């Protein structure tokens, strides 16, 4: 399997309502993600069937068992996105007691980074990523957006920002202005964003 670049959307369980999954689908569509099919055992399902199933599990605060069949967990989806071979999306709720959950979008790393210079991105690719993140940040319920390489640890929960732990930004993270006040921003370029957000760009990355 190829290595994957991940865009991780962090949400607060207290914000879940009956339309949470529909809301995410709405913003992903406007971000340019077009539903292709289900994935990992859900290939024959429609987007509506996947949405209804995932919504029910979210409301139950369902915690996936990695040893169980995919059919007993959150259903995954494949999306088309201009400029990329495809994007897979799925929910994570591995620590339901901490009051948060995540939605993850994965793209093959080779389509994001320069193979010979792993900390380099083509400007065109970087602009496409920012356009995607831009629309996702419009979601009223979103808490943070963090980006990871295959070798990264998990994202940093927003509750850890005050403890000096930085968000994952490879190359970008988006946090709120309120969260920024608690963050150590050394190593980041900081740019004001819309809807009370701030874009953090990792200075270790180059754009060519």
**For residue 194, what pLDDT band results from cuts at 50, 70 and 90?**
confident
Decide which of 99 and 145 is more confident.
145
What tens digit of pLDDT does each residue of 67-85 get?
555 557 999 999 999 999 9
**Strands 206-207 and 120-121, bridge-based pairing:** parallel
Is the Cβ–Cβ distance between 58 and 91 less than 8 Å? yes
Tokens at residue 85, please?
A: 């071979």
Domains of the chain by residue range: 4-207
Decide which of 193 and 9 is more confident.
9
Average pLDDT (147-174) is 92
pLDDT of residue 114: 87
Is the Cβ–Cβ distance between 147 and 5 less than 8 Å? yes
Burial of 96 (0-12, 13-18, 19+ CB in 10 A): middle
What tens digit of pLDDT does each residue of 15-63 get?
999 999 999 999 999 999 999 999 989 999 999 999 999 999 999 999 8
Q: Residue 135: in which H helix or E strand, if any? A: helix 123-136
pLDDT of residue 13: 92
87 pLDDT higher than 80:
yes
Q: Residue 142: in which H helix or E strand, if any? A: strand 142-148
């Amino acid at each position: 399997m190829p290595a994957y670049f991940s865009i991780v959307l962090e949400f607060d369980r207290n914000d879940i309502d009956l339309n949470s999954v529909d809301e995410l689908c709405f913003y992903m569509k406007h971000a340019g993600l077009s539903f292709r099919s289900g994935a990992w055992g859900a290939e024959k399902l429609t987007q509506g069937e996947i949405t209804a199933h995932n919504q029910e599990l979210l409301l139950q605060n369902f915690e996936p068992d990695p040893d169980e069949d995919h059919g007993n967990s959150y259903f995954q989806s494949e999306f088309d996105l201009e400029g990329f071979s495809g994007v897979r999306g799925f929910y994570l709720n591995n620590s339901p007691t901490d009051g948060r959950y995540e939605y993850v979008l994965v793209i093959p790393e080779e389509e994001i980074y320069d193979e010979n210079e792993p900390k380099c991105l083509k400007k065109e690719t970087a602009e496409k990523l920012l356009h995607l993140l831009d629309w996702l940040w419009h979601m009223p319920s979103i808490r943070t957006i963090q980006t990871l390489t295959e070798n990264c640890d998990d994202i940093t929960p927003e509750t850890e920002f005050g403890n000096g732990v930085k968000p994952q930004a490879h190359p970008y993270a988006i946090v709120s202005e309120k969260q920024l006040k608690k963050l150590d921003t050394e190593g980041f370029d900081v740019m004001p964003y819309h809807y009370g957000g701030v874009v953090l760009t990792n200075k270790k990355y180059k754009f060519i």
